[in-house]
Amino acid sequence: MEDEKVKRETDPKLQLRGQLLLSGGLSIAGFAKKHGYKPKTVDRVIARYWNNEKNPRGQLSLEILERLKLELGSS
């Protein structure tokens, strides 16, 4: 149980969820629906690429990351 709690605290989805809620009052699922993405897709993109140095190769993943950064930067 302890290991799972520590793992969740460093989870990029949790960090981003907090930032989205503070900046625009959106959850990750709310962001996905607002922009026409599937919430599961957005979750996976965040988990793979949010704190990663590499840019995604897929056009959809890159688009999601750019929109997230714009959403967070506009507030």
Would you give per-residue pLDDT tens digits along the chain (75 residues)? 444 443 444 666 667 776 776 677 778 888 899 899 999 998 888 888 877 777 888 999 999 989 988 887 765
pTM: 0.71
The pLDDT assigned to 10 comes to 62
Tell me if 75 sits within 8 A of 63, measured CB to CB. no
The pLDDT assigned to 41 comes to 92
User: Containing domain of residue 41, as a range?
Assistant: 2-73
Domains contained in the chain, number: 1
The pLDDT assigned to 75 comes to 53
Please name the residues in contact with 28: beta carbons below 8 A apart, sequence gap of 6 or more: 13, 16, 17, 20, 39, 42, 43, 46
